[in-house]
Structure 1
Amino acid sequence: MTYIEIQENLKSKIKVLNETLWDNRALNPSIEKWLVNFSTEKEKLHALYLLSKFMYFGAVPMRNLLKSLYRDFYRYPLIESIRKSNGNTLDSDLIENKFKEEEKKTRFLGVGNLSESGAHLLYFFRQENKLSKEMFVYTDEILDRSNADPQVRFPEVKHYVFIDDFCGSGSQATNDEIINQCVVKLKKLSADIQISYLMLFATSKGVKTVKDSGLYDNVEAVIELDDTYKCFDINSRIFPQKDNFYFEKDFAKEFCYRLGRPLFYSINQKAGLIGHILEQVSDDAALGWGNCQLLLGFFHNTPDNTLPIIWYDEEDIDWVPIFKRYNKKYNF
């Protein structure tokens, strides 16, 4: 098969993906502009191949996943607990009444501040699962800090559930100062409180990091991505053996790292990193934050754990994204 034939096959596949799954987010003119980022025909061919493997989740699939998260990791476990506490009853009226009582003792929280995607999805989560807006609070509302010794603001609440769209490295769930202090204080104030961290998507590493932290009583992800989803892993599903004749994993990794490192370096600089830490973190993030090496995007944003060559859209470096990321701004 010639180079032109391979390229046309990839573009045909991408066209189908764009029309059926990607909400027309990657039309051919946008793809051609994105390909200008790459300097050689071989790089462009491999970039097209990577794009053909991109996983995109639009608004409808995300809403369905939010239903699954509520049903499988909140409602069903509570119902199972209610049944066991009542002699394994099958009385549907009793079960539903007890469940409603527990639901009133629950508060759902987003991850990060109001401008971030975890909090953004709570609106859809509430709609899809027909929940009262009274069940949603901000992290800084949980504790009453009006006195020197903070107390629980909602003493009737037994379940606090953090909702996140994506967990890559697990760092936000475990290192965020506001979340960490809140969870630790809640557990000190009441041994009966159950705290969950529920995610739509997560890497296996991220899930393990959050579980190992011991901060949460329940940690679950609707879709867990193991190391085979990493582009350049030894067992990568992006580069299976049958494709090696045309597409070289080591070549793709080299140019994705070479081009991706300065992109993330510029972001890390704006985040305030300097010196050795700046260099080290940029090395690690060149193929996506936490070295996740993903090809994943959502209708509301693209995680920075995805290859930066896919999403970078900052003023510092002239780069055209194909699935842009709305990155955080660190100053006014």
Structure 2
Amino acid sequence: MQNNIINIDEIIRVFIEKYGEETYYTRGIKEKLLNWINNTEDIEIKNILLELFNEFKLFNKLEIKQIMEEQLIECLKCVDIDYTNICHFPSVGNVYNSSSEMIPLIREIDRERGNIYLYKDTIVHGIEEISDDIESVIFFDDISGTGGTIIKFLEKNIDFIREKEIYLNLVAITKVAKIEIDKFKQENNDLKIYLKYKYEFDKVFVYLDRLEYGHKDKLHKFEEDVWGQNNKNILGYEDSQLLVGFEHNIPNNTISSFWLSSEMLREEKKWNPLFHRYTPRRRPKKNRKNQNRNAKKLGG
């Protein structure tokens, strides 16, 4: 691995040339990057992080929309629009899912193209809005890192999907997730599930030959010292080892050094994030009770 620290200005220039400086994640990227690598004094870790930064792929809004448009047009060729709903991929449990950011893009595509004619109620916000007469459901999500969220949803709603055609559209998928989803489809071959994706990614320490196996161990130990032992976010959720971001958010499958922030840590450790990962806060239960009580008073 070369000494990336002495080439940091060139690394930043190449990044800006690729992605510009106008979006939330690219604005002020030089200052963010310098603060980020200064989270550690370890020269080898700095070089590893910069090598990984060179490999990072950031999808902007236009690119995401182009991919979604291609997938939507392909799906609409296979379904009867009169009996079809479009939905973001649902979360399982009370967990934020950035796929909800995809649905406004579908509305933009529908409005801008002029030759995709969706009904007012074609797009829904959850499967509870889907009526029994619907034959096809087209889901959109940005990425599947492990396949776990998709499979849990399918298992939980097996009766719902049994009589419908299910189209799963992703911007990207990992090799691990594809294997798991294909396995589920084979075990449930009576279900009509169609998986579509544009990019397939592997774990970065598997394919990036500029990094050696010892570098993975070094970074693992570094993130373990920050998160604590056995944390699922080390090297990305469940060791996903991805280097992917979207204009609307950074998936937790991306190596956590890229999106970690001080607020996420239980102990008081200062950490300057490179890319802030958006995770909405939950309202405290006490506030929710007060809100409900106030609503009752207002309602008489």
Q: TM-score, normalised by structure 2?
A: 0.77
The aligned amino acid for 2:279 is N
Taking a change above 3 Å as real, the CA distance of residues 256 and 133 of structure 1, as seen in their structure-2 partners, is farther
Spell out the pairing of 1:32-181 with structure 2 (5 A cutoff): 32-72=34-74, 74-76=75-77, 78=78, 102-112=80-90, 116-130=97-111, 131-142=118-129, 154-176=131-153, 180-181=155-156
Q: 1:129 Cα shift?
A: 3.5
Q: Aligned with 1:212: secondary structure? A: helix
Q: Residues 204 and 224 of structure 1 are in contact (CA less than 8 Å); yes or no, is this contact kept in structure 2? A: no
Q: Give distance in 2, aligned partners of 1:330 and 1:313.
A: 18
The aligned amino acid for 2:255 is L
Q: Residues 261 and 285 of structure 1 are in contact (CA less than 8 Å); yes or no, is this contact kept in structure 2? A: no
Q: Residues 163 and 198 of structure 1 are in contact (CA less than 8 Å); yes or no, is this contact kept in structure 2? A: yes
Q: Give distance in 2, aligned partners of 1:264 and 1:140.
A: 36
Q: Give distance in 2, aligned partners of 1:66 and 1:2.
A: 38
Q: 2:217 aligns with which of 250, 254, 258?
A: 254
Structure number with larger C-alpha Rg? 1
Q: 1:226 Cα shift?
A: 4.2
Q: Give distance in 2, aligned partners of 1:163 and 1:56.
A: 18
Q: Aligned with 1:134: secondary structure? A: coil
Runs of 4+ in 1 over 6 A off after TM superposition: none
Higher mean Cα deviation, 291-300 or 256-265? 256-265
Q: 2:238 aligns with which of 274, 278, 290?
A: 290
Q: Give distance in 1, aligned partners of 2:120 and 2:220.
A: 44
Taking a change above 3 Å as real, the CA distance of residues 197 and 264 of structure 1, as seen in their structure-2 partners, is farther
Confirm or deny that 1:207 pairs with 2:178: yes
Q: Aligned with 1:256: secondary structure? A: helix
Confirm or deny that 1:222 pairs with 2:197: yes
The aligned amino acid for 1:123 is P
Deviations 1:258-278 (A, max 9, x none): 22235555xxxxxxxxxxxxx
Q: 1:224 Cα shift?
A: 3.4
Q: 1:163 Cα shift?
A: 1.3
The aligned amino acid for 1:122 is I
Higher mean Cα deviation, 9-18 or 303-312? 9-18
Q: 1:297 Cα shift?
A: 0.5
Q: Residues 172 and 201 of structure 2 are in contact (CA less than 8 Å); yes or no, is this contact kept in structure 1? A: no
Q: 1:63 Cα shift?
A: 1.2
Q: 1:140 Cα shift?
A: 4.5
The aligned amino acid for 1:286 is I
Q: Give distance in 2, aligned partners of 1:223 and 1:106.
A: 22
Q: Percent identity?
A: 19
Q: Give distance in 2, aligned partners of 1:256 and 1:223.
A: 29
Q: Give distance in 2, aligned partners of 1:211 and 1:262.
A: 36
Q: TM-score, normalised by structure 1?
A: 0.70
Q: 1:166 Cα shift?
A: 0.7
Q: Give distance in 1, aligned partners of 2:38 and 2:2.
A: 21
Taking a change above 3 Å as real, the CA distance of residues 2 and 255 of structure 1, as seen in their structure-2 partners, is closer
Q: Aligned with 2:205: secondary structure? A: coil
Q: Give distance in 2, aligned partners of 1:61 and 1:261.
A: 34
Q: Which runs of no fewer than 5 residues in structure 2 stay unpaired?
A: 112-117, 285-300
Deviations 1:28-51 (A, max 9, x none): 211111011122222212221211
The aligned amino acid for 2:76 is R
Q: Give distance in 2, aligned partners of 1:49 and 1:2.
A: 9
Q: Aligned with 2:31: secondary structure? A: helix
Taking a change above 3 Å as real, the CA distance of residues 287 and 7 of structure 1, as seen in their structure-2 partners, is same
| Equivalent residue, structure 1, for 2:9 | 11
Q: Give distance in 1, aligned partners of 2:173 and 2:226.
A: 24
Q: Residues 312 and 319 of structure 1 are in contact (CA less than 8 Å); yes or no, is this contact kept in structure 2? A: yes
Q: Give distance in 2, aligned partners of 1:181 and 1:8.
A: 52
Q: Give distance in 1, aligned partners of 2:103 and 2:179.
A: 24
Q: Give distance in 2, aligned partners of 1:263 and 1:110.
A: 33
Q: 1:7 Cα shift?
A: 2.9
Q: Give distance in 2, aligned partners of 1:221 and 1:26.
A: 35
The aligned amino acid for 1:126 is R
Q: 1:172 Cα shift?
A: 0.6
The aligned amino acid for 2:33 is I
RMSD (Å) for aligned C-alpha atoms: 2.7
Number of residues paired by the alignment? 263
